[in-house]
Amino acid sequence: MTKPNKSKLTCPDGRISQPSKSVGDREVIDLGTYIPGFLSSINNALSRGASQRYRAQFGIGIVEWRVMSMLAIEPNIPAVHISDAISTDKGQVSRALQKLCDAKLAESKVVSADVRKKNWWLNDAGYTMHERILKIALERERQLITGCTPEDIEAFLRVARLMGQNLSKM
Amino acid sequence: MTKPNKSKLTCPDGRISQPSKSVGDREVIDLGTYIPGFLSSINNALSRGASQRYRAQFGIGIVEWRVMSMLAIEPNIPAVHISDAISTDKGQVSRALQKLCDAKLAESKVVSADVRKKNWWLNDAGYTMHERILKIALERERQLITGCTPEDIEAFLRVARLMGQNLSKM
DNA sequence: TAACACAAGTTGCTATAGCAACTAAATTGA
DNA sequence: TCAATTTAGTTGCTATAGCAACTTGTGTTA
């Protein structure tokens, strides 16, 4: 550590595992405790595996899956709500909805005099695929957390929720 | 929940917060407890913010920063070690090293009769930039976990490490 | 009513992530 | 010895992520 007089339990920011260490007299990242590094490698490995599997088995990518999962959570919603709910760019949502529509998995209808405003939902084929991918997605999540205690998972979720709030202020 | 007879404390996989819920008689993702969704949105927001900031302030992207941080952790290493250590594709590392070299931040030298084998390190300009970005990176990490208890952070790290191991088996 | 701001959605462009094919050099082994 | 395999690194291509400009329609207001 660069900062002096820092005991494991009384470091100024309250953390126990510090995200940096020393190499010679230089402060450097400690890859074993630096959270952004973990988040990146875990998320990338997870997304990559899911995307490959869904694409090979169902012909849609992970973006389309996320949009599809939101259409199942809240049927008959406009694109902008999907974008907000799954934290995805509205451009990506627009392209994904078009693909789902082309693949005859989702449908939409103009819901007001304003022809831009359309609500979207899954048709029967869409729900069938949703059910199949959901099984895989939940099984993958179960494998991901295998070996963790329920208490640690709860703590993980608390931290994740707080991170989401903190990020919206950064 | 679709599966019946599942109490909050005795669900078969040991989890307390379940990653799915019901809409009508269909099982759907519960965005409030589904971990891959959290990982994706948190990591994307974090990486995006870091990348924009480093690019605007220092002229390098997040890939070059990750490579640079590894060169500070372990100076005088070949590209393949960087790729392994930071879980990044060797192609990306190759391109990032070329950029750092072009920007006069890193240097390399052939270390054996095999001219392919080169070791890389940061020069003075590289270390100066590393020090400046590291300050920002650590401050961003501190902001990210503001409000979390040290115990929850430790639990988060335990879960993250286990996830890394589990992913290597998926 | 004309000018302006706003909102939904589309499209183009760049950055990040990563697979696969490739070059070139070293190693293995029949 | 020389073909096959392995290793380090480069390059091309696609998928994901997201910003920004744009279109189109709505609402607001000077």
Look at residue B14 and tell me if it is in a domain.
no
CA of B118 to C1' of C29 (A): 28
User: Alpha-carbon distance A164 to A158, whole Å?
Assistant: 10
Q: What is the pLDDT of residues B66-125, one digit of tens each?
A: 999 999 999 999 999 999 999 999 999 999 999 999 999 999 999 888 888 899 999 999
- Residue B134 belongs to what H/E stretch? helix B124-144
User: Alpha-carbon distance B1 to B19, whole Å?
Assistant: 9
pLDDT of A162 over the 60 cut: yes
Look at residue A164 and tell me if it is in a domain.
no
Distance from CA of B103 to the nearest CA of A (A): 21
Which has more confidence, A126 or A18? A126
Report pLDDT for B5: 41
Look at residue A2 and tell me if it is in a domain.
no
Q: Pick out residues whose CB falls under 7 Å from strand C.
A: A 40, 44-45, 48, 52, 78-80, 90-91, 94-95, 97-98, 116-118; B 47, 51, 55, 61-63, 66, 87-92, 113-116
Residue A11 — pLDDT band, cuts 50, 70, 90? low
Considering the entire predicted model, what is its pTM?
0.87
Look at residue A53 and tell me if it is in a domain.
no
Of B114, B156, B132, nearest in space to B57 by CA: B132
The CATH number that applies at residue B120 is 1.10.10.10
CA B33 to chain centre: 21
Report which DSSP code applies to B12.
T
Look at residue A20 and tell me if it is in a domain.
no
CB-CB contact of A111 with A103 (8 Å): no
In the three-class reduction of DSSP (H, G, I as helix; E, B as strand; rest coil), residue A109 is classed as strand
Residue percentage of chain B with pLDDT more than 90: 79
Residue percentage of chain B with pLDDT more than 70: 92
Residue A108: which residues within 8 A CB-CB, separation 6 or more?
A97, A101, A118, A119, A120, A121
Look at residue B82 and tell me if it is in a domain.
yes
- Helix and strand element counts for chain B (H, E): 6, 5
CA of B118 to C1' of C26 (A): 15
- Nucleotide C24: nearest residue by CA–C1'? B116
Report pLDDT for A170: 86
Q: What is the pLDDT of residues A95-136, one digit of tens each?
A: 999 999 999 999 999 888 788 889 999 999 999 999 999 999
Place of tokens 């599809």: A68
CA of A147 to C1' of C30 (A): 47
User: Alpha-carbon distance B114 to B124, whole Å?
Assistant: 27
Place of tokens 């082309």: A102
Report pLDDT for A124: 96
Cite the DSSP H helix spans in chain A.
Answer: 35-58, 62-73, 79-85, 90-102, 124-144, 150-169
- Residue A118 belongs to what H/E stretch? strand A118-122
Look at residue B76 and tell me if it is in a domain.
yes
User: Which domain, by its residues, includes B112?
Assistant: 60-159
Residues paired with residue A22 on neighbouring β-strands, in sequence order? A27
Q: What is the pLDDT of residues A39-82, one digit of tens each?
A: 999 999 999 999 999 999 999 999 999 999 999 999 999 999 99
Q: Chain B contact for A144, CB < 8 A?
A: yes
Of B12, B43, B29, nearest in space to A133 by CA: B29
The number of beta carbons lying within 10 Å of the beta carbon of residue B79 is: 19
Report pLDDT for A15: 85
A146 CB neighbours in chain B (<8 A) are 162, 166
pLDDT of B142 over the 90 cut: yes
- Domains contained in chain A, number: 1
